Structure 1
């Protein structure tokens, strides 16, 4: 409501359409997926495959893991 005119001005009610208005939004699904209690999108569990003769060890001074030959352990 316009305080000077004391009624709603028509030029304040007009809005322009945007190309972004036509993009479908799945807001509820996105929020529920992050809630941790059920919900939409779930990640698939990956199967880790380590070649024969190798093992996984800490990567010294890098903070990750590396695959190294078992004979080097």
Structure 2
């Protein structure tokens, strides 16, 4: 059985690294963009990726040929 998952993609600033309290360490990502991407993911149907409008604009400016293709 294949897993059918959706995704959310955004761009923005985030802290990525180890967060520690005492001897307990946890590698994590913290920032508003993390929450935004999680919200976008919750909108995605299985097999779909939802991206921020700003991210889409940046990608199509950087890779104009990508806007001509579809999945």
TM-score, structure 2 normalization: 0.23
Q: Which has the higher helix share?
A: 2
TM-score scaled by length of structure 1: 0.22
The structure carrying a bigger strand percent of its residues is: 2
Q: Which has the larger radius of gyration?
A: 1
